Amino acid sequence: MEEISEVSYDKSNEKTYRIICEHTRAAVFILADPKNIVPSNSEQGYILRRLIRRTIRMIHKLGVKKNILPELAQEVIEIYGEAYTEVKLCRETIIEELKKEYDKFNKTLQSGLKMANKYFGKLQVGECLNGQQAFKLYDTYGFPIEFTLELAGEKEIIVDVEGFKAKFEEHQEKSRSGAAGKFKGGLAEHNRNSVRLHTATHLLNSALRQVLGDSVFQRGSHINSERLRFDFSFHRKLSEEEIGQVEIIVNKAINESIDINCMEMNVKDAKESGAIGIFESKYGDIVKVYDIPGYSLEICGGPHVSNTAELGYFKIIKEQSSSLGVRRIKAIVDLD
């Protein structure tokens, strides 16, 4: 650590050193997890993001201006790689994700710290940073609330956590309301071909989970009369072999001429049935569940074709990065 950071270890920076080392080790092991966890704003991805961003802040606090996270991660991999082979196997992914998160957060860290200090400068010891201000630090500068609490604690300032939660929930509600106003299932148009492509997204989602694992989840979609665009959680580029496997699975389902069933039920029953659906909250208490037996069971607003044979031939035309930890596929269906 001393050699990499070029900062001598002593009693004054002992805590900072320890946080950097422990958090880097934890981040490496989370990134090596077979669940394909990457930094995000939800669930396990949020825990990982908090770890990495706190580490970045501590690196800056130590006076180090360059990104030493990849070098520190390399040391962790060398130490633990023999005993924990998954760490060594995921070396490239671990380093890549740490670089991405550093670059993303480093752009806003200094301006965010400047804004935080501006807020703190107007408060006395024991006074309170309000929820709106705490939320702005989160929403504009990517500061997790735990990060803001730590900064405030150093100044002996209180943070209105309940006020922050209220603002956060208000923001989430606005996002849900916006999503509810979109056309069902991500369709930009409502014609025969877009409906066929919509059904193809269900088969695509299922095929991706078969080939890449159950940690793959839909992150968005957009469908018009010419093509489907499907975003999903995954940390790397798909190989040509993987793309081919996905196409084979989808076209197999099409060739089997499977009747598609639609059922209506409450959200609780839908989840208990095993139906997947990342966006169920925008459909209300009663949801539609579309079943393609043997392949797909999804919560969805529709519309869909009645039989998979109506899709024709499925082809992936492009696979690329959409955002951090999210890949994007564009595909077509052709009756000819």
Percent of the chain scored above 90 by pLDDT? 49
Residue 187's pLDDT is 57
- Tell me how far apart the alpha carbons of residues 31 and 16 are, in angstroms, rounded to a whole number: 22
Residue 106's pLDDT is 83
Q: Which of 28, 1, 25 is nearest to 13 (CA)?
A: 1
Residue 115's pLDDT is 93
Q: 212 is written with which tokens? A: 């890449």
Least confident piece of the model among 17-31, 38-52, 77-91, 122-136: 38-52
Residue 180 confidence class, pLDDT cut points 50, 70, 90: very low
Average pLDDT over residues 269-274: 86
Percent of the chain scored above 70 by pLDDT? 93
Which pLDDT tens digit goes with each residue over 230-249? 999 888 899 999 999 999 99
Q: Is residue 113 part of a domain?
A: no
Residues 308 and 218 in one domain: yes
Q: Is residue 153 part of a domain?
A: yes
* Residue that finishes a domain, picked among 162, 180, 198: 180
Average pLDDT value for the chain = 87
Residue 130's pLDDT is 95
What CATH number does residue 272 fall under?
Answer: 3.30.980.10
Average pLDDT over residues 47-68: 89
Q: Is residue 116 part of a domain?
A: no
Its domain, for residue 195, covers 184-334
Q: Which of 315, 275, 281 is nearest to 295 (CA)?
A: 275
Pairing verdict, β 326-334 and 313-323? antiparallel
Residue 248's pLDDT is 96
Residue 182's pLDDT is 40
Q: What is the DSSP code (8-state) at residue 134?
A: H
Residue 21's pLDDT is 93
Residue 278's pLDDT is 63
Residue 186's pLDDT is 56
| Global confidence as pTM | 0.52
Counting the structural domains of the chain, the total is: 3
- Bridge partners (DSSP) listed for residue 220: 231
Least confident piece of the model among 106-115, 173-182, 204-213: 173-182
* pLDDT above 50: residue 178: no
Query: CA torsion angle for 46, 51, 54, 60 (degrees, to 10)?
Result: -120
Q: 302 is written with which tokens? A: 């529709």
Q: Is residue 240 part of a domain?
A: yes
Q: Is residue 61 part of a domain?
A: yes
CA-derived radius of gyration, the chain: 23
- Using CA atoms, how far residue 84 sits from 48, 87, 88, 102, in Å, is 19, 6, 7, 25
Residue 74 confidence class, pLDDT cut points 50, 70, 90: very high
Residues 146 and 55 in one domain: no
- Tell me how far apart the alpha carbons of residues 91 and 98 are, in angstroms, rounded to a whole number: 11
**Between 243 and 7, whose confidence is greater?**
243
Q: 27 is written with which tokens? A: 């981040």
- Tell me how far apart the alpha carbons of residues 310 and 303 are, in angstroms, rounded to a whole number: 14
Q: 311 is written with which tokens? A: 């899709």
Q: 1 is written with which tokens? A: 């650590």
Residue 286's pLDDT is 83
Residues 209 and 310 in one domain: yes
Q: Which of 46, 164, 36, 57 is nearest to 106 (CA)?
A: 57
Average pLDDT over residues 25-34: 91
